[in-house]
Structure 1
Amino acid sequence: MLSIQRFMALASLAFALLLTSRAAEAGYAHYIYDASSGKVLASENAETLNHPASLTKMMTLYITFEALKARKIRWDDEIVMTPNAASKIPFKLGVKAGQTITVREAVYGMAIRSANDAAAAMGDHLGGSEERFGAIMTAKARQLGMRSTVFRNASGLPDEAQVTTARDMAVLAIALIRDYPKEYQIFSQRSFTFRGRTIKGHNNLMYRYPGMDGIKTGFVNASGYNLASAVTVNGRRLIGVVLGGKTARQRDNRMAELLDQTVPGGGGLPGVAVASRAQKRSAEGAVALATEMPIPSERREITVGVPAKAAATVTPYASTPVSPLAEIASANTQAGGADLWRIQISAAGSRSSASAVLEKAMPLLTDFGQLAPSVEGSYSGRQEVFRARLVGFAGREEATRACSVLKARSIDCFVVR
């Protein structure tokens, strides 16, 4: 049986590699879909390839929920934080290699904090290795009707071959809401407690847009700022995806603008009129409207906009764990996002040292909105140097103020673009 699973995973991976002959164009795209009526309300570059960034974790969570439903794993099961997983850059839970986290901790870490180490650990656990798990994710994407998506890792960290489209991400959001309505409600939480620490999320638009209850943010340099959102307005369920935003704030405002313009009976509210109506919600009392979508008795390929290709068949996870592969070749950020200001806070001799400096600096800069950590490797002569940077400042002045905050805490930094 295992040999069949391996064959299917390898076949899926080969198919994924074939698809990646088209490089991601990494431009702006959006897609707004009315799940109640089945109509596409707004679309721009919806089939253009881009990198999913942390929207990838939506699929990692889908397969995790599938394994939970099949009783292959349980919420309180412990999974090992592999060296591969522990080496990921922030955001992360920060558990050391060899230690364990529960499935519940991993799920909350992925859905709320977008923890890269939790996602990689789950991929290693369910797939036997993150590479193999990527093949399983890609095959599941085909089953759901995601025609163009290729996954190579569980977290969304940079990989040139990991690509998706705005339409495909909408399909995935619908699948999560439809197939796992109870588990989907986790996306609406503002924070969770992890071993005595309160860990906050950063889906800032969800906290202020009435009726929005999920789902995921994402960023890598190669993609720009991504967002998948679900909202119920006037009794209608809308799914929105924006890819390639220039900043987190610009991305959020663009999503709000699109939703305002397409709200049925909303009167074409201009700009971010709806989004500006602050809505206070506690972590426990967050709106959870996922169950308003009809839930079919069996899973099926989701057709959005135009018919999708026939679904593939694949075993959703490995029946027995195998030794995880070493860390994927590189998590270096790729070209892109040239108009974003960033700060550099370290040039270290190892990736782990650079990540440690980021983990120390990030809690000091919570007032600067959603910043993306980045570890970029380059060579100085024969020596590889890893630069720890924080990306996402709107301008030089904001980046300079952030540096001043860090310098006051004895963390040196300088502004780069």
Structure 2
Amino acid sequence: MPVIDMWLGRKVFAASLAMGAVLLSAGTATADVSWLVLDTQTGTVLGHENAGKRHAPASLAKLMTIYLAFEAIERGKLGWDDEIAISKNAAAKIPMKLWLKPGESISVREAVNGMIVISANDAAAAIGEHMAGSEAAFARLMTKRGRQLGLRNTIFANPSGLTDRTSQLTTARDMAVLGMALERDFPKLFGLFSQPSFVFHGKRLKGHNNLMYRYAGVDGLKTGYTAVSGYNLVSSLEQGKGHLIGVVLGGKTARSRDDRMEALLKRFSTGRTVTSAPLVASNAPVPTRRPKQVVAPSETIDAAPIEQGDGDADVALIPSAWQIQIGALPSEVAAKALLGNAQKFIRSIHGEAAGQIMQTQARGTTLYRVRFDGFEDAKAASRTCAALKRQKFDCITVKTN
């Protein structure tokens, strides 16, 4: 195998441990954070804190948009191949988005995948306008249907969850109810939330629900961020014949939010219950899941290193000429763990860095290279590697073309 892969492979576990020490403080609790974990088989709350406190939902609002889309599809009012026109309003949404232009059109399938995988704001606005005539009218439908599902303290103002002048608020309890409703009511469609990527206009776009990559059994649902909301997450964890739904709202960073969710899922996946008030009818049908879509790491471009939010930078959708490589491992699981540990630190050095795992064969051995893209030139890549090496991490620069 290549010398650089052997060298990085031998040292990568030490680097991973050191990176973990650097990031250890990221999961510190704060009073502003709300969370709740429930068992979908019984609707039983396993644990919660500040679960009734109102927060801005950010892109978690798209879960309600997707619920209404799924409902319209199952009722025959909307088809997967129906074309949705892109208005000037939809095209003007800030990233994350599909970069659609006024007058273009996309299919319902593309809009749904765009919302699930990269939290596309233009797709959310377009599907809301298509279904109700305007974002405001669709938001009223969202709020009304949410009330019927049991979202007692949630008000939606638009399909995307972007910060609005009007009140747009939810609670950890309500988001757990919505996550459970999606799993219960659309068992054949729920597997879409486990998609790590999808192809749009010839490019494979990768999502930013990083907990799916680092914690076995997590299969969706949705991340969210705006400057107003902080970092939000609704996760589903497979457990026996059922699932746990976890919600974290108001995280200070994406990493601390993900760490908290992982800790909560580990804590409550043992089956211990703390409270037992059903959120929904306990005899709700148990969902069945379709097989997950498997995407080879080598086919995936990390097109969404940032989360949807106010004022976030644009994201390039194609690889740049320079990358850095921080490891080459014989295990995909270990590669994903390294990628998850390294992302926040590397982006603190170079904000446009986008991680990916690339599968390769070397002398009959399968290796998983952990690389970061998004460097405009050799100098930027070298500067990031130098910073990593000062922290005793291994790093090489790679020219891709």
Q: Taking structure 2 as the reference length, what is the TM-score of the superposition? A: 0.64
Alpha-carbon separation, structure 2, partners of 1:283 and 1:207: 13
List alignment gaps of at least 5 residues for structure 1.
1-25, 267-281, 287-330, 334-353, 368-392, 412-417
Where 2:169 maps in the other structure, the secondary structure is coil
What is the CA-CA distance between 1:37 and the residue it aligns to? 3.1
Residue 252 of structure 2 is aligned to residue 246 of structure 1: yes
Amino acid at match of 2:84: I
Alpha-carbon separation, structure 2, partners of 1:394 and 1:180: 34
Alpha-carbon separation, structure 2, partners of 1:244 and 1:62: 23
Q: Which residue of 2 aligns with 1:195?
A: 201
Match of 2:73 among 68, 77, 86: 68
Q: Which residue of 2 aligns with 1:46?
A: 51
Residues 332/249 of structure 1: CA separation in 2 closer, same or farther (3 Å cut)? closer
Where 1:96 maps in the other structure, the secondary structure is coil
Residues 398/216 of structure 1: CA separation in 2 closer, same or farther (3 Å cut)? closer
Q: Which residue of 2 aligns with 1:358?
A: 314
Amino acid at match of 1:190: P
Q: Per-residue CA shift, 1:256-278, capped at 9, x if unaligned?
A: 10111111258xxxxxxxxxxxx
Residues 216/92 of structure 1: CA separation in 2 closer, same or farther (3 Å cut)? same
Residues 14-413 of structure 1 mapped to structure 2, 5 A cutoff: 27-160=32-165, 161-264=167-270, 284-285=293-294, 333=310, 358-360=314-316, 398-402=347-351, 408=377
Where 2:250 maps in the other structure, the secondary structure is strand
Say what the alpha-carbon RMSD is for the aligned residues: 3.1
Do 1:148 and 1:168's aligned partners in 2 also have CA atoms closer than 8 Å?
yes
Alpha-carbon separation, structure 2, partners of 1:237 and 1:141: 21
Work out the percentage of aligned pairs sharing the same amino acid. 49
Where 2:181 maps in the other structure, the secondary structure is helix
Do 1:234 and 1:264's aligned partners in 2 also have CA atoms closer than 8 Å?
no
Q: Per-residue CA shift, 1:94-150, capped at 9, x if unaligned?
A: 111111000110011111111110000001101100011111100011010100100
Q: Per-residue CA shift, 1:318-372, capped at 9, x if unaligned?
A: xxxxxxxxxxxxx994xxxxxxxxxxxxxxxxxxxx99x72449976999xxxxx
Residues 72/265 of structure 1: CA separation in 2 closer, same or farther (3 Å cut)? closer
Higher RCO (C-alpha 8 Å, min separation 6): 2
Residues 362/151 of structure 1: CA separation in 2 closer, same or farther (3 Å cut)? farther
Residues 251/176 of structure 1: CA separation in 2 closer, same or farther (3 Å cut)? same
Alpha-carbon separation, structure 2, partners of 1:115 and 1:366: 26
Q: Which residue of 1 aligns with 2:397?
A: none
Residues 366/98 of structure 1: CA separation in 2 closer, same or farther (3 Å cut)? farther
What is the CA-CA distance between 1:202 and the residue it aligns to? 1.2
Residues 175/37 of structure 1: CA separation in 2 closer, same or farther (3 Å cut)? closer
Do 1:247 and 1:394's aligned partners in 2 also have CA atoms closer than 8 Å?
no
Amino acid at match of 1:284: Q
Alpha-carbon separation, structure 2, partners of 1:214 and 1:332: 19
What is the CA-CA distance between 1:217 and the residue it aligns to? 0.5
What is the CA-CA distance between 1:408 and the residue it aligns to? 4.0
Residues 199/407 of structure 1: CA separation in 2 closer, same or farther (3 Å cut)? closer
Alpha-carbon separation, structure 1, partners of 2:132 and 2:378: 42
Q: Per-residue CA shift, 1:163-190, capped at 9, x if unaligned?
A: 0000000010011111111111111011
Do 2:225 and 2:309's aligned partners in 1 also have CA atoms closer than 8 Å?
no
Do 2:205 and 2:317's aligned partners in 1 also have CA atoms closer than 8 Å?
no
Q: Per-residue CA shift, 1:33-52, capped at 9, x if unaligned?
A: 11223321110110000010
Alpha-carbon separation, structure 1, partners of 2:76 and 2:315: 35
Amino acid at match of 2:158: N
Residues 182/409 of structure 1: CA separation in 2 closer, same or farther (3 Å cut)? farther
Alpha-carbon separation, structure 2, partners of 1:120 and 1:137: 13
Where 2:100 maps in the other structure, the secondary structure is coil
Where 2:46 maps in the other structure, the secondary structure is strand
Do 2:64 and 2:178's aligned partners in 1 also have CA atoms closer than 8 Å?
yes
Alpha-carbon separation, structure 2, partners of 1:262 and 1:332: 30
What is the CA-CA distance between 1:410 and the residue it aligns to? 11
Residues 236/86 of structure 1: CA separation in 2 closer, same or farther (3 Å cut)? same
Alpha-carbon separation, structure 2, partners of 1:362 and 1:246: 29
Amino acid at match of 1:143: Q
Do 2:60 and 2:161's aligned partners in 1 also have CA atoms closer than 8 Å?
yes
Amino acid at match of 2:66: L
Q: How many residues align?
A: 282
List alignment gaps of at least 5 residues for structure 2.
1-30, 273-290, 296-307, 325-342, 354-373, 381-401
Residues 156/366 of structure 1: CA separation in 2 closer, same or farther (3 Å cut)? farther
Q: Which residue of 1 aligns with 2:21?
A: none
